[in-house]
């Protein structure tokens, strides 16, 4: 699966899922981690499920339970570096949804609609047990989109190349001494 085929939101959800897998010592990123990243408060996924009548607290509890049931690997040199076969299949199905909706990139709603092609999945079971069907969810997605296609993937901002070899702190945390208040800095100087 080519990450360049994802919208920015899906790319960020996969990155967040990778962090969950790393913290939990999961060898693979799986569907629950990605969906968990898409249904946080204020996210499009959460809004779509809420509009479809799904209790977000119950959905998050089902997702957390699924994440807790994943096997933990100790002693591995890296965690969350691989995609599970189930997640790969979900993205393949999302690609089909993308095509059917006329989208250019795989968007959040494409991934969420593709969940309904995963009948073995705990999250899909939760959704269907609570009365949500693919047809009903597609209507919610269509209403939210207002007939529009998914947004184009925003191009990455070109990085500025400095002549200096000093480290850039944009992606790293600033040293603690830089984040101290001026009063704390005066106290440490004395």
What is the per-residue pLDDT across 6-18, written as a single tens digit (0 to 9) for each? 999 999 998 888 8
Cβ atoms of 116 and 124 within 8 Å: the answer is: yes
**Bridge partners for 82 per DSSP:** 28
In this prediction, residue 149 carries a pLDDT of 64
> Which pLDDT value is given to residue 71?
66
Per-residue pLDDT reduced to its tens digit, 153-178: 544 433 333 333 333 333 334 334 33
- Would you say 1 and 83 are in contact if contact means Cβ atoms under 8 Å apart? yes
Q: What is the pLDDT of residues 108-158, one digit of tens each?
A: 999 999 999 998 899 999 999 999 999 999 999 999 988 676 655 544 433
pLDDT reported for residue 102:
87
Q: pLDDT per residue over 28-71, tens digit each?
A: 888 999 999 999 888 999 999 999 999 999 999 999 998 888 76
- What structural domains and CATH numbers belong to the chain? 3-145 (1.10.1780.10)
**Mean of the per-residue pLDDT values of the chain:** 77
Q: What percent of the chain has pLDDT over 90?
A: 45
Helix then strand then coil, % of the chain, to nearest 5: 55, 5, 40
Closest CA to 70 of 123, 121, 111, 30: 30
pLDDT average, residue stretch 178-182:
40
Strand segments (E) across the chain: 28-29, 82-83
pTM of the entire predicted model:
0.74
- Give the tokens for residue 39: 């249904």
């Amino acid at each position: 699966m080519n990450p360049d085929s994802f919208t920015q939101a899906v790319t960020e959800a996969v990155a967040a899922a990778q962090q969950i897998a790393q913290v939990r010592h999961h060898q693979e990123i799986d569907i629950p981690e990605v969906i968990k990243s898409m249904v946080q408060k204020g996210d499009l996924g959460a809004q779509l499920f809420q509009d479809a009548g799904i209790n977000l607290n119950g959905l998050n509890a089902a997702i957390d339970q699924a994440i807790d049931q994943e096997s933990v690997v100790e002693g591995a040199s890296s965690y969350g570096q691989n995609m599970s076969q189930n997640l790969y299949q979900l993205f393949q199905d999302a690609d089909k949804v993308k095509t059917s909706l006329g989208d250019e990139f795989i968007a959040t709603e494409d991934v969420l609609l593709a969940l309904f092609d995963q009948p073995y999945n705990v999250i899909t079971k939760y959704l269907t047990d609570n009365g949500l069907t693919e047809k009903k969810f597609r209507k919610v997605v269509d209403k939210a989109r207002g007939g529009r296609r998914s947004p184009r993937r925003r191009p990455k901002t070109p990085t500025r190349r400095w002549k200096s070899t000093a480290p850039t702190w944009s992606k790293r945390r600033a040293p603690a001494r830089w984040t101290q208040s001026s009063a704390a800095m005066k106290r440490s100087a004395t």
